[in-house]
Structure 1
Amino acid sequence: MNVSAWVWIVTLVVLVAILAVDLLIIGRRPHEPSMKEAGSWVAFYVGLAVLFGAGVWITSGGTAAGEFYTGWLTEYSLSVDNLFVFVIIMARFAVPRHLQQKVLLIGIVLALLMRGAFIAAGAALISQFSWVFYIFGAFLVYTAFTLIKEGENDEDDFKENILIRWARRALPVSSSFGDGRLTTTDSVGKRLFTPLLIVMIAIGTTDLLFALDSIPAIFGITKEPYLVFTANVFALMGLRQLYFLLGGLLQRLVYLNYGLAAVLAFIGVKLVLEALHTNSVPFINSGHHVSWAPEIPIWLSLVVIVGTLGIATVASLVKSSRDRRKELLNTPT
């Protein structure tokens, strides 16, 4: 897939325009969106992703389109997992509901900037060192085991990182969110930061940690930087509205961690097999490719990812419904 400079430019311009509209809407009227509003925006962004994939199909063929759709679905699913932590952060800092949109949007902008840097670095590494796939694959398998442990332990806690703790100590922070701005003044006229800044740091740095597994995961699906970047963009663009649309449904997705763990483990194994197939590491098979290592086609990756996430979602909803019925039956009347 040959992506010219002007295609990159047009893509970035359109992205900035959409973000500017989002910022303008929130800046003029901070509010908690209704289910109808959130659902309409989510449908809009999903529709854009589907249309973009169709455009990729027309201009670059079915393989590239399949890579985009598979990568987008993977990143979107991992982004839903991010929402669990975002809910905890919002509750931990007691962010008013009408300000949560602003926090999420700024966090998403920061995430896009950081992921853009990660993608550029990852693409440069892959183009120079094919053995990076071994590292990416091993890391994804490790992350999969980590997700399984989190699911078994049922830990929903959020631990403040070093940057958040430093900001709390070093910056003058007010006790009130005020009107939703990043700064305010106290009774004696001293300029203070509002807790909104700390929350944005928490959202941004948390997403940076999530990018450590999501970026290697999508490079396991496609090596084309343009598809990697656009899949991430479309996965993140509707995340703010999805946060309000899902609401309490997030707590019902009890098996999501297991589904995501299976997806990451599958992509990790796929990366290792691909690395073996194109091996150039001297101490593995004397630097020659491993003939028995199969190449997993993109259609099979898409089927495995969709099937795994679908099973995890249905199983989660069934279990949650059963648990709710049991709770109602055991509740004294």
Structure 2
Amino acid sequence: MIVTDWIWAITIGGFVLVIVADLLLVDSRPHVFGTREATKWVLIYVGAAVLFGISLIFWQSPQYAGEFFAGYLTEYSLSVDNLFVFVVLIASFAVPKELQHRVLLIGVVIALILRTGLIVVGAAIINQFLWVFFIFGAFLLWTAWKVWRSGDVPEESEVESAENAVVRFIKKRVPSTDEYIGHKLVARVGGRRVVTPMLFVVIAIGTTDLLFALDSIPAVFGLTQEVYIVFTVNAFALMGLRQLYFLLYGLLDQLIYLNRGLAIILGFIGIKLVLEAAHTTIDESIPTFGTLFSLVFIVLVLAITALWSIWAVRRNPELAPSPPGDING
């Protein structure tokens, strides 16, 4: 895949413009993000990702378009676990409902910057050592086994421990206040500048997301080795994740078998990585999974998991756990 510096500049510039437009048009004033508004923006971001994927057919190739869609579906589905974490963090920090969209926007920007560094490091390792696919594959298989065994959402205590470590580190070094002061990350209180809880929660969201990226980024590298595709997949998935938070919050507790599906997908990609590593480094006669097969497999697993979850909860509502926090603050 040939991607010039100009294309990189245009792509990154495009995402920056989207963030600026979001700040100026959507989030210019604090307000509660309703279901209708969230639905509209989810459709816009998903539509933008679909159009981008289709465009790859014409200025690159159908192969790369397929890799993008497979990676996007995988990353977006794995990101649903992030939503549970966002719920816990926002409830823990008692973020006012009118500030939640701004919190998620800034947190996602931090997450994207951190993920970009992880992508660059991962790509450099892969380019130098093809056998690292064996390690990535084994790691994903181990992660799939862990996810399948747990079968539930991240524990609130685990999230809070990571969150408190970040918060304690900052609080020990800078003066702070416990009061939210609009959108401000830093404000003047009593004649001195202090940081607000707004800063703490966006850092917590951005850094905690990186822990989940340790699973999802190797998974996307298992579907494509093109850094450009891995980056755009993560950017589109993260940018659309904020609106998905407001749209799906009430449905999160209905997707009781989601982690079963995610475990199957992670296991499949882990096997795919091991086979590709063996095909490249040991024997080219060893079969591998094609992009189209991977895409169809991921779509089917997600569809079956969602339908199975909804059917099971409707038959037995007691299966649905209580949400970990109140989105309405």
- Bigger drift between 21-30 and 9-18 goes to 21-30
SS of residue matched to 2:16: helix
How far is the alpha carbon of 1:270 from its aligned partner?
Answer: 0.5
SS of residue matched to 1:10: helix
8 Å Cα contact 1:81-1:256 kept in structure 2: no
8 Å Cα contact 1:57-1:65 kept in structure 2: yes
Which residue number corresponds to residue 126 of structure 1? 126
> What is the one-letter code of the residue matched to 1:111?
A
Question: Residues of 2 paired with 1:222 and 1:33: CA distance?
Answer: 35
Which residue number corresponds to residue 325 of structure 2? none
Segments of 5+ residues of structure 2 without an aligned counterpart are 321-329
Which residue number corresponds to residue 324 of structure 2? none
Which residue number corresponds to residue 286 of structure 2? 293
1:229 lines up with 2:231 in the alignment: yes
Number of residue-to-residue matches in the alignment: 317
Which residue number corresponds to residue 44 of structure 1? 44
Give a deviation string over 1:118-175, Cα, whole Å, max 9, x none: 1111111111110110111111111112212332698444232232332244332212
> What is the one-letter code of the residue matched to 1:178?
I
Runs of 4+ in 1 over 4 A off after TM superposition: none
SS of residue matched to 2:187: strand
TM-score by length of 1: 0.90
Question: Residues of 1 paired with 2:3 and 2:153: CA distance?
Answer: 45
Aligned counterparts, 1:41-120, within 5 A: 41-120=41-120
Aligned counterparts, 1:7-22, within 5 A: 7-22=7-22
Which residue number corresponds to residue 198 of structure 1? 200
Question: Residues of 2 paired with 1:322 and 1:163: CA distance?
Answer: 42
8 Å Cα contact 1:160-1:202 kept in structure 2: no
Which residue number corresponds to residue 164 of structure 1? 167
Which residue number corresponds to residue 324 of structure 1? 317
Segments of 5+ residues of structure 1 without an aligned counterpart are 280-288, 328-333
SS of residue matched to 1:177: coil
Which residue number corresponds to residue 241 of structure 1? 243
1:211 lines up with 2:213 in the alignment: yes
Which residue number corresponds to residue 327 of structure 2? none
Question: Residues of 1 paired with 2:222 and 2:104: CA distance?
Answer: 28
Question: Residues of 2 paired with 1:230 and 1:323: CA distance?
Answer: 40
1:175 lines up with 2:182 in the alignment: no
Give a deviation string over 1:297-331, Cα, whole Å, max 9, x none: 1111111111111111111111222223899xxxx
Question: Residues of 2 paired with 1:155 and 1:109: CA distance?
Answer: 24
> What is the one-letter code of the residue matched to 1:264?
L
SS of residue matched to 2:316: helix
Question: Residues of 2 paired with 1:326 and 1:93: CA distance?
Answer: 28
> What is the one-letter code of the residue matched to 2:147?
L
Question: Residues of 1 paired with 2:312 and 2:89: CA distance?
Answer: 26
Q: CA RMSD in A?
A: 1.9
> What is the one-letter code of the residue matched to 1:160?
S
> What is the one-letter code of the residue matched to 1:52?
F
> What is the one-letter code of the residue matched to 1:128?
Q
8 Å Cα contact 1:26-1:102 kept in structure 2: no
8 Å Cα contact 2:84-2:154 kept in structure 1: no
Question: Residues of 1 paired with 2:310 and 2:180: CA distance?
Answer: 36
Percent identity (aligned): 50
Greater Rg over alpha carbons, structure? 1
8 Å Cα contact 1:72-1:231 kept in structure 2: yes
Give a deviation string over 1:72-105, Cα, whole Å, max 9, x none: 1111111122101111111111111111111100
Question: Residues of 1 paired with 2:200 and 2:153: CA distance?
Answer: 28
Question: Residues of 2 paired with 1:167 and 1:293: CA distance?
Answer: 51
SS of residue matched to 1:22: helix
Say which of 282, 305, 310 aligns to 1:312. Answer: 305
Give a deviation string over 1:161-213, Cα, whole Å, max 9, x none: 23233224433221211223112343x32322111111111101111111111
